[in-house]
Chains A and B, each alone.
Chain A
């Protein structure tokens, strides 16, 4: 950490000491609609940022954008139509676990979630949990966890939410959601549709065609559809049945980028279906939840979209999980859950493989006073393919002042080898063992009526990291348990809601994360991990009008292990992007809320890259309508 950082941290420690908080969850919405889903698998003592449809409508194009501008996660993507993967707290793409209504959905093939091939627009809440949580969520929860949740309520009501936007490069994002409940029954239907030609000009003026004209993003179009249907039935307050279902279909072309965009011919189709039956009951001091889920995913990749040949991968997962919690006293709670999972997956190169696992989790929660919380969880998984390490977590929270809470956690986490890593013909390595991490984090939170602040220091010691490396004098890359990596840094979060005058409100939220990810063998920094990333959203609301600015700033990243920065291409320069816009509420009654929004993205027309020679769009425009009734 340099001097500036110390000053920076010092300044904010002052802020914490001046004020004081209790809740560790940051609900970022203006209108609080989501009631927290009470679940046995719940994390306390760690930092969580919750995003609502109010955030989604600001960055509706894909989940990468939503999270990039509103959460502490760093992304590496190949453009809006390309593959996008997370780098949470400096960890690799497989170390962020994505859960849909509590069910882990990272791909079986490569262990990752492609954040440009998943829909969150019809979800009711996206929450981002920082830090390892394998004891609760299993494999992949090393850097953190992203939840995508649908929320069903049994309150008598009928609601609709319609959103439609149109912008530069023929980009259109639309969704419609409807909710209805008679108190006994409840249902939700969500439909989403996104389409873009994505044929923006490359504003990096060092590259021109032979006539001196700008090149453009050829073969970069995408479209996707999503459909969510969920039901709930309340037998009684203590006995509720839910069914969630989601279908997603995406068709993307992968552009080739510079220097020759016309050479792009790749195309990728993704499809997924997810079904979940959830039964929650409680009696005397017991709570129980039974989940039965089926998740299937499939991709087809065309190296040449004009040819019939394609590569594919598909997987089916079937899960049954049962959780029971028992409230021993007002201070003690015991939790247990059992999970059975069966996975069947194949690709064009890997014949059908099956994997089974049985998982037992035990947890204890201790709340001696309303100011103190401590929890302990231990997880044991038996897997048919390899030995999975025991995972445990210890968390604690202590309120120090009225508004200041100290939190800490220690956990051991893991990520199991993926299907591709184990079985890809000629290169797969069946001797791989799971990656494991030991992490601790310590945080301070302050919460008042107007300001939420949190500072969290983290330290992740990762062993046996799986890396693809060229082996044995041939250009074949193979996965190996090679590296030991230490990630340390801090996350900083601020949210303010300040009434300046009557009907004038200033809202701001800021994420700031500093990370040093060091290879313990070589001492070099990991490629593609920026030392610093921050994003912010600030909005001034004056009666029915509001003006907003959204920003993303990221320091340079190395591209190679030897951390060379002497020539371009071996590092990617820092990123500084701002979006601005204005919103007008045409209707603002209790039952009707119609908002029109105009925005300009990359308003400074900056050239910036997240991947070498794949430029992002320059200044572009968007208009949207957001109607809730």
Chain B
């Protein structure tokens, strides 16, 4: 009997010893008051609901990559799906889509400045005009009547609920020009085909421009035109394992005159072909089709007939200094950021960034 008790005591003891033997380690790579000035950022969405979105910093000489930079500086996670980041004069605004939250951080130190937790519903993108931030919101993604642009006062860091601008369904990207907001209506859970123009100078009067299905990416070209990429609405998919889009409605790159709100020019993709990503620099438009990226001049009237650059499955891209920056499609492991020479198609630099990396931000 005595022996049993002794053995059991040993057992209990060994369990507790064992329990303590694997301590968590957490490596913090940043130094105190580190400045993130001479580089660029990559935002990674993470997975919906998994709260694992992040931002990475890569120095301009590519010598250092700091993944989960915000976490390391603040010792907490951003805590949501990072839909997009907008950089202001002093602060950066990190939009957490699934958490209905904007984390406001100092854009040099990445230290948290404020957290906006009310007035947002499925926030997507933000643009800054003066001391106000304009944020597109789906509201309830399935509700086609509750989409809006929320107005953030950049001095108080609070949403001014009274200034909310209601818009048609499926608001997505937003940019501004001449005190006007341009909002692409990709369609949220359904399909949209308009660009809303909000005139901030005339009592937020809204006009709409009809484009092809699922307009998403927008840029202002050097000649002042609004360039819109519409993906086309996928209607049929192939089988396992790739499930590629077999059929879709017309996709196009359309050029809009911002004085008349008319489509000046459009470049239509061939039947059932479309692009999801577009980047613009120095009069050149870059777009992807499948695993290739093509380049055309903004004066072009047709799509590229070149072979294109093979980039694999990518989820985001941008262009800086004639170099193509792509992030690979990966949600269960880290995405790869590749920097590619557009002239040769050669990869000049590659590094792992966060889960589901989607956007690149140059200073």
Contact = CB atoms under 8 A, between A and B. Distances in A.
Is B one of A's binding partners? yes
Given A260-B99, A565-B25, A8 B18 contact: yes
A71 interface: no
Contact of B101 (A210, A259, A475): A259
| Secondary structure of the A contact surface, majority rule | loop
A480 interface: yes
A568 interface: yes
Interface size class of A (residues with CB under 8 A): 35 or more
B315 A613 contact: no
A257 B117 CA distance: 13
A210 B115 contact: yes
Contacts of B96: 259-260
Contacts of A307: 140, 142-143
A508 B10 CA distance: 13
Contacts of A523: none
A293 to B, nearest CB: 34
A560 interface: yes
B114 to A, nearest CB: 7
A561 B99 CA distance: 24
Nearest to B21: A4
B201 interface: no
B7 A15 contact: yes
| Secondary structure of the B contact surface, majority rule | loop
B255 interface: no
Contact of A569 (B1, B7, B10, B51): B51
Given A256-B99, A262-B118, A472-B243, A12 B76 contact: no
Given A12-B11, A263-B101, A309 B243 contact: no
A494 interface: yes
Nearest to A564: B334
B130 interface: no
Given A307-B140, A562-B333, A476 B243 contact: yes
Contacts of A257: 51
Nearest to B330: A470
Interface in A174-208: 206-207
Interface in A527-560: 531-532, 534, 536, 538, 553, 555-556, 559-560
B76 A207 contact: yes
A470 B99 contact: no
Interface in A258-290: 258-260, 262-263
Contacts of B52: 559-560, 569-570, 612
Interface stretch (B66-74, B160-168, B202-210, B215-223): B66-74
A472 B71 CA distance: 31
Interface size class of B (residues with CB under 8 A): 35 or more
Contacts of A474: 245, 276
A455 to B, nearest CB: 12
B14 A8 contact: yes
Nearest to A565: B25
Given A564-B334, A574-B23, 13 more contacts: A210-B114, A258-B51, A260-B79, A307-B142, A309-B140, A309-B143, A431-B239, A450-B4, A476-B243, A534-B15, A567-B68, A570-B68, A574-B22
4 smallest beta-carbon distances between A and B, as pairs: A263-B100, A259-B79, A562-B333, A567-B68
Interface of B: 1, 4-5, 7-8, 10-12, 14-15, 17-19, 21-27, 29, 50-52, 54, 67-68, 71-72, 75-80, 96, 99-101, 103, 114-115, 117-118, 120, 140-143, 237, 239-245, 276, 290-291, 313-315, 329, 331-334, 355-356
Interface of A: 2, 4-5, 7-8, 11-12, 15, 18, 206-207, 210, 256-260, 262-263, 303-304, 307, 309, 426-427, 429, 431, 448, 450-451, 469-478, 480, 494, 496, 498, 508, 510, 512, 531-532, 534, 536, 538, 553, 555-556, 559-562, 564-571, 573-574, 576, 612-613
